Amino acid sequence: MSNHEYDRLYDELSGLEDETGTVFSGSPTQKVGYEVLSELPKERHERPMLSLNKTKSMEDLTEWLGEQKGLLSWKLDGLTVVLTYRDGKLQKAVTRGNGEIGEVITQNARMFKNIPTGISYQGELVLRGEAIIRYSDFEKLNALIEDVDAKYKNPRNLCSGSVRQLSNEVTAGRNVRFMAFSLVKADGVDFKNSREEEFRWLMSLGFETVEYVGVTRDSLADAVADFEKRIEQFDIPSDGLVLLYDDIAYGMSLGRTAKFPRDSIAFKWADELQETTLSYIEWSASRTGLINPVAVFEPVELEGTTVSRASVHNISIMEGLELGEGDRITVYKANMIIPQIADNFTRSGVRNIPARCPVCGGATEIRQVNDVKSLYCTNPDCQAKKLKGFALLVSRDALNIDGLSEMTLEKFIAAGFIHEADDIFHLDRHREAIVGMEGFGERSYDKLIAAAQSASHTTLPRLIYGLGIEGIGLANARVLCRHFDYDLEAMRHADKEELCSIDGIGEVLADAWVRYFENSRNNELLDHLLADLAFEDERQREGEQLLAGKTFVITGSLELFANRKALQEQIEALGGKAVGSVSSKTDYLINNDVTSNSSKNKKARELGIPILSETDFLKMTGEEQENADQDTE
């Protein structure tokens, strides 16, 4: 934009900050000053930060609540931080530490993405909350790391390390967010003896609070079940729920024990454990060369499904569990999703680590990075590396070639039908051999060729995503295509400086992009592939970016769109974005059941966010009339 337009918007923002008293950490009016410390100073908390008493029993939780009204919320899995504001300014941020003494991280807290550094309340405000990194941001950060062993293990550890950095410039790049869960002090404000009023007041000041719902003993079980159902899709790390008495005076009158406050209790998900026998360790090669150990055991029922396999991740974990064939082990589903080994009773010990890659037969080696030992294939031409790359290219979000599963790709690579990506569109050269393969026939062959032909008419973002450039997902691919007006040649020759000027593209992604296209072999293979592709012109489809700058949340079942992914793509095509949870930054919630009392609907109503049906959304974007015209034709 022009300097004049920027200055106008800057002045408007500055005026709004003066008017409301709320200033966010990312505001352009705040000069970002990075600071490097020699160490983090320690400080004693004015009030000890106690742990919560815990239960896994629904009966105990209901008995604890009794006849009181409660607030049920997520128990966030991050790093607890205490914030202190005076005269409307953030004065101090301290980690929980050991509950008595924490580390002062004030400069780092100023880098949190959603924290207000200035608020309208002028008294002393002390509040507690959780510093977290969302799963979506965690996965983006991990995607930028090429070395598998160097990838971060989980969002909680990454958040803890990010918050406690000696350089706040590192914290600024990690997308740390703050979710308030407790008000400690705010003199002179009448909260009507209600914790819920405290939450609402904090939200009015610009704080993002933990999602909560009001409950009684009659509604508690249904509320817990609703949270449990949504944990699989929840974008913020959580290891349970917290139940808090809404009545402030009642909760305070109960006092505390030496270890726990009595006004709140944690409800932990009860992991279902099953005992079984480890049959053997299967070694699975990836396109990075890492060979992952997978435990294969006698099938058991877990959380309603039959499970017989669990990733062990690396040799260090195998050694820690002393895993050997025939051992008696217990298994569970982490967060009710991912099968994991909980314990090994017989511990016969690790043996038979393969000296040869199970795919190509090339030599393997054990590498140790940051005290973690993993197995790698040393053959640069390993077929597994090709297989995973081709699997990404033909996946649903890339070229979307139905019928080319990893198993089929593996057969075709082994038979010599596919050496490079372009060969996928010339499988007709091997018609007789494919028809004669086990599991194939004339009909399967015809479907595969038709799918490849259909996939040859695609979009440039899908191709860019399918190339597998480090860190470039489908959303980034769309951003790049729009910036370069869908000119692939310009994209190929873009330098780091121009790439870094694009919103959402940082130095790491820019380096990966430039490195990919500096490789002459990559360009040669891409040229071969381009000869068989035809691209749709998405510029006409995008037209005016009607939803530019708008953020949507999609929930509930859909009727007019095939699935949430299709609706998300429509939003992005019009310049908007779709996220997983409702917050003060959400512009619209899309839910066909606009009158429901779901947690997202309630949160939207509390924040004054419009709730749209699919039909409302189509009216907003002008699509409804277009669809009606097509139906008439």
Question: Which residues are registered as beta bridge partners of 125?
Answer: 85, 186
Strand boundaries in 286-349, DSSP class E = 290-302, 305-311, 328-334, 338-344
The two tokens of residue 582 are 């409702």
User: Of 510, 617, 598, whose CA–CA distance to 555 is shortest?
Assistant: 598
User: Of 602, 572, 574, whose CA–CA distance to 589 is shortest?
Assistant: 602
Pairing between β-strand 588-590 and β-strand 611-612 as defined by DSSP bridges = parallel
Neighbours of 359 (CB within 10 A): 22
Residue type, 392: L
Residues 6+ apart with CB under 8 A from 225: none
* Spatial distance between the Cα atoms of 264 and 415, rounded to a whole number of angstroms: 63
Neighbours of 547 (CB within 10 A): 21
* Spatial distance between the Cα atoms of 251 and 510, rounded to a whole number of angstroms: 53
- Could you write out the DSSP letters of every residue in 411-467? HHHHHTS-SSGGGGGGGGGGHHHHHTSTT--HHHHHHHHHHHHHHTEE-HHHHHHHT
Active centre residues (catalytic):
75
Cβ-in-10-Å burial (0-12, 13-18, 19+) of 220 comes to buried
* Spatial distance between the Cα atoms of 435 and 439, rounded to a whole number of angstroms: 9
3-class DSSP assignment, residue 395: coil
- Order of all β-strands in the sheet with 611-612: 577-579, 551-554, 588-590, 611-612
- Could you write out the DSSP letters of every residue in 238-251? EEEEEEEESBHHHH
* Spatial distance between the Cα atoms of 93 and 102, rounded to a whole number of angstroms: 10
Strand boundaries in 133-251, DSSP class E = 177-186, 212-215, 238-245
Return the half-sphere exposure (C-beta side, CA atoms, 13 A cut-off) of residue 600.
24
Q: Is the CB of residue 177 less than 8 Å from the CB of residue 208?
A: yes
The two tokens of residue 352 are 């038979």
* Spatial distance between the Cα atoms of 354 and 53, rounded to a whole number of angstroms: 46
Buried/exposed 290-304: b ≥16 CB within 10 Å, e otherwise: bbbbebebeebebee
Neighbours of 54 (CB within 10 A): 13
Instruction: Provide the sign of the torsion angle of the four alpha carbons 363, 369, 374, 380, taken in this order.
Output: negative
User: Of 324, 319, 294, whose CA–CA distance to 309 is shortest?
Assistant: 294
Residue type, 1: M
Buried/exposed 594-610: b ≥16 CB within 10 Å, e otherwise: eeeebbbbbbbeeeebe
